[in-house]
Amino acid sequence: MARRPIAALLTAGAAVAMAACTGVAPASAPPGGTASAAPAPAGSVTVRATDTSCRADPVHAPAGTITFTITNDGSTVTAFSMTGEGGEILGAAENIGSGSTSRLVVEVPDGRIYTTTCRPGSTGDGILAPFTVTGAATTPRTGARLAEATATYRHYVGAQVDALVLRTREFVDAVKAGDVDRAKVVFPVARIHYERVEPMAASFRDLAARIDGREGDGRDPGVAWTGFHRLEKDLWATGPQPDSGQIADRLVADVEDLRNQVTAAPLSPTGLAQGASALLDDVATAKIRGDANPYARTDLWDLKANVDGAWAAVAALRPVIDAKDPALGPVLDERFAATSALLERYRSGDGFRSYTSLTQNDIKSMTDAIDALSEPVSYVGAVITS
């Protein structure tokens, strides 16, 4: 999602990263767990962000797990990220509101100079500063169960991006044939595969902006608006435009490129956990408000896909969760089941009702369910690395 690029951590040096959750760090034990399930991180860094500054303290940490606690003292929303020498994103926390605090956990095995960035308003290049990581992580964080979890999730991601390419081609074929009715049917079906793995996709910011950018997103001068949402407007608002076919062809090429990039990207177990949190954060900040698809109003399709993607990441990690904190798994099961049951009320045929049919009570019920689900999911990263 280009207006809220969510990127988080993979192994250091990777060209892509999974999404990091934005939100206040848990101050107490996981539901059903104990305080020992969320020990203090080995490397702790506080970040004070304002509209004009981004101050980390300290500006160095040993290799391994680094926890950034970011407080936004500015007047507008901000984002924080850590990148490597080649610009690859190791981790990012998005949508940190004014006066809010968020936590970002990054696994960095190699000592070198990295870059921290605050982006006031979540736009532009941001305020950059060097950050030094020393030494090398002495013990890998991935045991046999964690390695199996990442392999399981990698298979899931591969299946989703393959389906994304297939369905996008069907969508584009309908657009180019001038079959507006068919294109409208396929539009939300194609998008669910993107939304299920959105944290990984959004790590490639330029590519994600071309695929999933909204009309009001800040773009550099001369950069055209392309992708799903440009075609969404063509189909539901203005009617097909002279360049709709070209935009459609570009979408297919970008989606195929995304598949190649995502399937080659290394993963970390912590990235899976924080990616799950990021998907739920996106639901809370966009899908529930109806910001996802402003013309098609197929927001509930995207919302369900985000929940599905979060579940896939958590399910892959479940053997590790059960070994580390047996009480957390049942809570996750109960909250995911409650959220899914609620969403089933809004089914319509093979899909979902229009967002415009929701009442304020409907939106509040969804908000409460997502908030309840987000809480235990936010503990998963700490539990699997404890």
| Nearest one of 272, 306, 271 to 286, comparing CA atoms | 306
Residues 126, 46, 132, CA angle at the centre, nearest 5°? 70
Q: In the prediction, which pLDDT does 31 show?
A: 54
Distance separating alpha carbons of residues 134 and 61, to the nearest angstrom: 6
Q: In the prediction, which pLDDT does 253 show?
A: 97
Q: Which domains does the chain have, with CATH numbers?
A: 35-136 (2.60.40.420), 144-384 (1.20.1420.20)
Computed over its alpha carbons, how large is the radius of gyration of the chain? Answer: 20
* pLDDT band for position 64 (cuts 50, 70, 90): confident
The length of the chain in residues reads 386
Indicate the range of 28-32, 210-214, 231-235, 262-266 predicted with least confidence.
28-32
**Which H helix or E strand runs over 69?**
strand 64-72
* pLDDT band for position 121 (cuts 50, 70, 90): confident
Given a cut of 50, whether residue 167 has pLDDT beyond it is: yes
Three-state secondary-structure class, residue 53? coil
Q: Which two tokens stand for residue 38?
A: 């969320």
Average pLDDT over residues 3-28: 33
Q: Which two tokens stand for residue 319?
A: 């053997």
* pLDDT band for position 11 (cuts 50, 70, 90): very low
Backbone phi and psi for residue 286, each to the nearest 5 degrees, phi listed first: -135, -55
* pLDDT band for position 138 (cuts 50, 70, 90): low
Render 334-361 in DSSP notation, one character per residue: HHHHHHHHHHHTTEETTEE--GGG--HH
| Nearest one of 47, 145, 154 to 91, comparing CA atoms | 47
Average pLDDT over residues 163-180: 97
Given a cut of 90, whether residue 309 has pLDDT beyond it is: yes
The answer to whether 374 touches 284, Cβ cutoff 8 Å, is yes
* pLDDT band for position 8 (cuts 50, 70, 90): very low
